[in-house]
Amino acid sequence: MIAVLCGGVGAARYLRGLLGVMPADQIVAIVNTGDDCELHGLSISPDLDTITYTLANAIDPDRGWGLRDESWRALEALRRYVHVTPAGSSAASTWFGLGDTDLATHMYRTHRLAEGATLTEVTAEIARAWQLGLTMLPMTDDSVRTRVKTLDFGEISFQEYFVRHRHGVAVESLRFDGAQTARVPSAVLAAIATADRIVIAPSNPLVSIGPLRALSALETALRDRRHDVVAISPIVGGKALKGPADRLLVELGHEATQAAIARLYAPIAATLIIDHVDLGQASSVSAAGVRPVVTSTVMSDRHIAEQLATISLSAVE
Ligand code: FO1
């Protein structure tokens, strides 16, 4: 069995590759919920949804989130109420794109949580409905929310930073609200303890993998398996393929280099997979105490994603 620590888009593409090279029932995806938010009374879990829709081949390929062939009538209808909304109310806010068919997923999740189901249970139901085959586990059933301290707007939610401000504002620090008391489900800890390999998907190490590591039981479990943990760098040639990882690394005192990724992951991963273009940085990865493996990490098609998956499975010595 392979356990994969996941954020959103990069993880979803990696999992699609992994599904091409090994049986789905041998894969456990452990997914960040620090990006989760509550809007219009709905419980939204963006990383779980991005993985679900990608693996079901239902994702909008251009946006990388939400459903393909989506319509936006509900959100457009909400605009009618903008001019009557009292100051301080977010009742008619439309900055977060909730498509008409995507709403069904959030409605189902919200209703089941209100009925007393855990997020783990609801996630399993959603995965079954989309016939994903693999096991998808949220990192916790408790509330953990990534909070972003910005220079211009003070502390805001992750989605306000990422979507409302298009991750274009300067960040001073991150905080994972709730992580100190959140419990890690026993299924997550069992997957980490018994997996043949643990892969850290090419996700943002600070805001996607950071929330998982902020759960001390999960961090300890990973440290115990360090030798069997392979991380895939989300940085290629000093840039993030998607999202603000490069910028955040610099703003938060690291660098957008493989050495910086290796230093971040050194306590929990013995191996780091980096792209060919960064071959020259392999020695700096070794200097951080992590074994570099060099291959193509840009998953521009399914074939490369499968190749990367195969290499990640054999990368542990
Ligand atoms: N990303 C955006 O850039 N703009 C959106 O309006 C947006 C809406 C959205 C709705 C549901 C959902 O599951 C994801 C959504 N995302 C949107 C993606 C999400 O903000 C990010 O991909 C992740 O949180 C970062 O991994």
Q: Residue 105 C-alpha to ligand 1 middle, in angstroms?
A: 14
Atom 5 of ligand 1, nearest CA residue: 97
Task: Please state the rounded mean pLDDT for residues 11-27.
Answer: 97
Closest CA to 176 of 219, 137, 143: 143
CB 97 less than 6 A from any atom of ligand 1: yes
Nearest-atom index, ligand 1, CA of 7: 26
The answer to whether residue 315 scores a pLDDT higher than 90 is: no
pLDDT computed for residue 241 by the predictor: 84
Atom 14 of ligand 1, nearest CA residue: 46
CB 66 less than 6 A from any atom of ligand 1: yes
The answer to whether residue 211 scores a pLDDT higher than 80 is: yes
pLDDT computed for residue 242 by the predictor: 85
Residue 182's φ and ψ, nearest 5 degrees, are -65, 140
Q: Residue 243 C-alpha to ligand 1 middle, in angstroms?
A: 11
Nearest-atom index, ligand 1, CA of 32: 26
d(CA 175, CA 10): 22
d(CA 208, CA 146): 9
Atom 16 of ligand 1, nearest CA residue: 65
Closest CA to 48 of 74, 15, 17: 15
Atom 4 of ligand 1, nearest CA residue: 163
* Position 317 confidence tier, pLDDT thresholds 50, 70, 90: low
State the number of CA atoms in the 13 A half-sphere of 222 facing the CB.
28
**Cβ neighbours of residue 80 closer than 8 Å, sequence gap 6 or more:** none
Atom 21 of ligand 1, nearest CA residue: 46
pTM of the predicted structure, to 2 decimals: 0.97
Residue 295's φ and ψ, nearest 5 degrees, are -160, -175
Instruction: Write the secondary structure of the chain as one string of H (helix), E (strand) and C (coil).
Output: CEEEEECCHHHHHHHHHHHHHCCHHHEEEEECCCCCEEECCEEECHHHHHHHHHHCCCECCCCCCCECCCCCHHHHHHHHHHHHCCCCCCCCCCCCCCCCCHHHHHHHHHHHHHCCCCHHHHHHHHHHHCCCCCEEEECCCCCCEEEEEECCCEEEEHHHHHHHCCCCCCEEEEEEECCCCCCCCHHHHHHHHHCCEEEECCCCCCCCCHHHHCCHHHHHHHHHCHHHEEEECCEECCEECCCCHHHHHHHCCCCCCHHHHHHHHCCCCCEEEEEHHHHHHHHHHHHCCCEEEEECCCCCCHHHHHHHHHHHHHCCC
Ligand 1 pocket test: pick from 95, 163, 165 the residue with the most ligand atoms within 8 Å of its Cβ. Answer: 163
Positive/negative CA dihedral, 62, 241, 163, 136: positive
Average pLDDT, the chain: 97
pLDDT over 90 percentage in the chain: 97
pLDDT one-digit tens code per residue, 110-155: 999 999 999 999 999 999 999 999 999 999 999 999 999 999 999 9
CB 47 less than 6 A from any atom of ligand 1: yes
